[in-house]
Structure 1
């Protein structure tokens, strides 16, 4: 992750608590980065209405945008009082993700921070369609944060997949680890690294033998196979981490489905921030994105390394 110099904060006009801005201020105070408060405004009533002419609708749109700018200024004054350089912008657009992507390109944002919705009863984060679009296409680190009070990231975890079987940029895992270390230094956080892999189950193993497949896997012992798979993943995991100084207690190699094991790791180690990598196919590398994110109760930092 490059030096954080310009933070793009996607503001939420429907919320009283701007959790994205809270984290942006936390980061800006530690990095001297600028903050851009960005709001995407749209109201379908100001696009077409039987009782107004197009000229009148244009005036209504401009006044609507002006009112949103005044709303942003109330937050801008607070940020300026902290001696942080801040800019504000409101654009009229029906697609939030498209507007954010265009803004990233125009200002050269280092990181995008956006709040997500959290159900207080279920204590889970729910991602909007715009969140999914940004996860898939955002070319810079994307921090999705939940609606909570001001807090620091005490514990972070990077989820990596050192296997070469997926269509992913070669440096993605290294970029994930670098991003975690950069954030951990800013917040003085405890760091963890995990790699979840899913070996062949005993049922499938028995099925191979039942159909008489002449295959070295099927003809061997299941325990030997399990040990060999674990050894293989341990080797590639250790190779990835060999350039870093992670404590052995903070590295986790787990056999099982990532969609189930990763949320358990996050819960067990009380992780506040999970750092993951997006592949070119729009999914977190090696995992099922929807099933993982629906069950992870922490903030997400998504890294997408373009080929």
Structure 2
């Protein structure tokens, strides 16, 4: 993963922009350019009764100018750091679809979005923009939080050891490479963590999950419970054997992945968690989507589909 172009999705509902502050910190270290992007749509500006005296196109154009001025008010934060920065505002609905279009158009290396605590309904329906991005963003996605430091001190890669049909662990290797690269660029401490549930095999064994549209093979352990510890230990150390992690920063744990990751983030003072996203029938099928609201650190999410381009 090489970072040349960072796309920051701006949030007009908040004054402080955590996404921009994190993007500036990364851009300084990676010598990357930043682009601020805002998609807006105001239903009150669309009705035909506005068209007589003030044509719809004119009203929308004036509205976009005000949003562009707001967006440009943040440019100096990057300019004073001698970072190349541009901005663009678009009128479109749905907002999410236009952002994905922009990512494709610009060959973005990294998307940064400010995230917040989600309501129970948002968590259930994945309705918030950052939940949608976790499922669909084609580029690496950094979820930036307001209550975290602008610079990182400890980065942790979270791997799940899942293999593709060909037997490759491409996503895990992408996560490791990204973690190591960022730790070198940012001069931070790199950690690696894998958590497995020793009860997972018995929990799903024999259950007909296909009726729910879920991929059973992704939930069932590839080995019997008696061999689970040896399997995960062997696969884990085989995966990281070519990476120079300090022994004290290698964490192999048992339990529920979300719970253990949350504890390790606190215990090791992790600022940035690098993890992967795998989709299952429209749901976020791994731990990433479940821990966004439970870890007090930023999250860099990589999708399996991101690997070829990055």
TM-score in terms of structure 2 length: 0.81
Tell me the distance in 2 between the aligned counterparts of 1:168 and 1:26. 37
Tell me the distance in 2 between the aligned counterparts of 1:95 and 1:202. 41
User: Shift in Å at residue 22 of structure 1?
Assistant: 0.6
Does structure 2 retain, via aligned residues, the 8 Å contact 1:111–1:142?
yes
* Deviation readout 1:41-97 (Å, 9 max, x if unpaired): 111111226455596222111111111111111112332232211111001122232
* Deviation readout 1:204-244 (Å, 9 max, x if unpaired): 7xxxxxxxxxxxxxxxxxxxx86632111100001101111
Mark the CA change 1:239 to 1:53 in structure 2 (over 3 Å): closer, same or farther.
farther
Structure 1 stretch displaced more, 8-17 or 194-203: 194-203
Q: Which residue of 2 aligns with 1:276?
A: 275
Q: Which residue of 1 aligns with 2:35?
A: 36
User: Given the alignment of the two structures, is residue 142 of structure 1 paired with residue 136 of structure 2, yes or no?
Assistant: no
Q: Which runs of 5+ in 1 are unaligned?
A: 120-126, 205-224
Tell me the distance in 2 between the aligned counterparts of 1:63 and 1:266. 46
Does structure 2 retain, via aligned residues, the 8 Å contact 1:42–1:94?
yes
Q: Which residue of 2 aligns with 1:47?
A: 46
Q: Which residue of 2 aligns with 1:186?
A: 185
Does structure 1 retain, via aligned residues, the 8 Å contact 2:18–2:114?
yes
Does structure 2 retain, via aligned residues, the 8 Å contact 1:34–1:84?
yes
Tell me the distance in 1 between the aligned counterparts of 2:35 and 2:79. 12
Tell me the distance in 2 between the aligned counterparts of 1:110 and 1:93. 23
Work out which of the two has the higher radius of gyration on C-alpha atoms and give 1 or 2.
1
C-alpha RMSD of matched pairs (Å) = 2.8
Structure 1 stretch displaced more, 226-235 or 238-247: 226-235
Q: Which residue of 2 aligns with 1:199?
A: 198
User: Shift in Å at residue 29 of structure 1?
Assistant: 1.1
User: Shift in Å at residue 174 of structure 1?
Assistant: 0.4
Tell me the distance in 1 between the aligned counterparts of 2:166 and 2:258. 19
Q: Which residue of 2 aligns with 1:241?
A: 240
Q: Which residue of 2 aligns with 1:61?
A: 60
Q: Which runs of 5+ in 2 are unaligned?
A: 119-125, 204-223
Q: Aligned with 1:117: secondary structure?
A: coil
Mark the CA change 1:77 to 1:203 in structure 2 (over 3 Å): closer, same or farther.
closer
TM-score in terms of structure 1 length: 0.82
